[in-house]
Amino acid sequence: MKKIFTTLTILLISAKVFSQGCVAIRSTGGVCSMTEHPDSSLTSDGGSWVFNANTRYFKSNKHFKGDVYQKERIELGTEVINHQFATDLSLIRIFNSRWSMMVDVPIISNARSSLYEHGRKERHSMHSFGLGDIRVAAYRWLFNPATSPKANVQVGLGIKFATGDYDYKDYWQNVGPGGGPELRTVDQSIQLGDGGTGLTLELNSFVNIKNNLGLYANAFYLSNPRQNNGVRTYRELVSPSLANEAISSVPDQFMARVGANYAVDKLVISAGGRIEGIPIHDVIGGSGDFRRPGYVISVEPSLTYQLSKINIYASVPAAIYRKRTQSVTDRARSTNTTFVNGDAAFADYSINLGISFRL
């Protein structure tokens, strides 16, 4: 049972680390604050601190319109390639067996290579690096862990602050006066933040079937009431038909996961599935301007190795279904005879490595 609690927590800590290429599902951190079974060395009834560091890498270059893979983009060399390294540093304060609080600070490094943003003449890269959007959240287990050790549900409420630069600039080549470079805002997918103050809702749950076998389920939703952040995209210069996408939207995002854990001595093996994405319409506020809505469904194997007060984990979510859905502006541009659906590049997989320990 102890191993199941441990792995559940480690998976939840890394659960809400988002990224899928041009669909700008940003890192927002995430934590389930019950660190282990109450009789373990990593928790106490109160006063505990837990630190978690999670590093993620992915490369996205597979373009989809709807759920149709545009393999010709790679064959012709016109694909957009995004690379991202992101580290989420989370500090959790456990007040007692039911209440806790988390602060998550993401540090992000992005690179984006394309043709179309550089006059369609040569492939060039743009970069961004810095602090992402910080999130603070409070958590509570709905049932007393002492009387409900085999199953429980945790609710989390949080605030996501607009601390990440959402107007990061780099040089676009072959577009300035005389065909030279010009300093412009980088693409939405490699901005460090979205420019909105958001509200987060989380549900984390588990069921222990046997001492070494358990199930988990998580759900996360970020609501961004702000419609747009006022940042110019320059898409109207790429094509006049994109005039209604001249300003960046501030979209909501979502994630859900289910899976199972199996413990073998100090090693815990986990397998599950996840869906994550950006919706077409926000729950609160407008949904117009430029966004790339879409979602990806992945299988998610992971391993956790437990030491005394330290847990080391790795997971590799691998995409099995990707879809770039129509945006509000896509629908506005569509007619009875013309169906408009923008494209987006997705990653085949991401690599997540992390460590969690009690301070």
Q: How far apart are CA 249 and CA 233, in angstroms?
A: 10
Q: What share of the chain is helix, strand, coil (3-state, %, to 5)?
A: 10, 50, 35
Q: How far apart are CA 346 and CA 337, in angstroms?
A: 28
pTM: 0.91
For residue 22, the model assigns a pLDDT of 63
For residue 23, the model assigns a pLDDT of 62
For residue 176, the model assigns a pLDDT of 86
Percentage of residues of the chain with pLDDT beyond 70: 87
For residue 64, the model assigns a pLDDT of 97
Model confidence at 254, in pLDDT bands (50, 70, 90)?
A: very high
CA dihedral for 321, 327, 331, 333, sign (positive or negative): negative
Residue 245's SS3 state is: helix
Q: How far apart are CA 212 and CA 62, in angstroms?
A: 38
Start-end of H helices in 16-169: 72-76
Residue 308 in this model has a pLDDT that exceeds 90: no
Pairing of strands 228-232, 182-185: unpaired
Which of 178 and 77 is assigned the larger pLDDT?
Answer: 77
Residue 46 in this model has a pLDDT that exceeds 70: no
Domains and CATH numbers, the chain: 2-358 (2.40.160.40)
Nearest to 327 by CA among 291, 277, 276, 285: 291
Write out pLDDT tens, residues 119-156. Answer: 888 999 999 999 999 999 999 999 999 999 999 999 99
Burial 242-251 (b: 16+ CB within 10 A, else e): bebbbbbbbb
pLDDT, averaged across the chain: 89
For residue 147, the model assigns a pLDDT of 93
For residue 179, the model assigns a pLDDT of 86
Residue 38 in this model has a pLDDT that exceeds 50: no
For residue 24, the model assigns a pLDDT of 56
Could you tell me the two tokens for 320?
A: 């099995």
Q: What is the dihedral angle through the alpha carbons of 199, 298, 31, 287, rounded to the nearest 10 degrees?
A: -10
Distances (CA, A) of 315 to 28, 104, 195, 318: 17, 19, 29, 10
Write out pLDDT tens, residues 70-125. Answer: 999 999 999 999 999 999 999 999 999 999 999 999 999 999 999 999 988 899 99
Percentage of residues of the chain with pLDDT beyond 90: 79
Could you write out the three-class secondary structure of 34-48? Answer: CCCCCCCCCCCCCCE
Cross-strand partners of 344: 64
Could you tell me the two tokens for 242?
A: 């994109």
Residue 141 contacts residue 34 (beta carbons within 8 Å): yes
Start-end of H helices in the chain: 2-15, 72-76, 235-238, 328-333
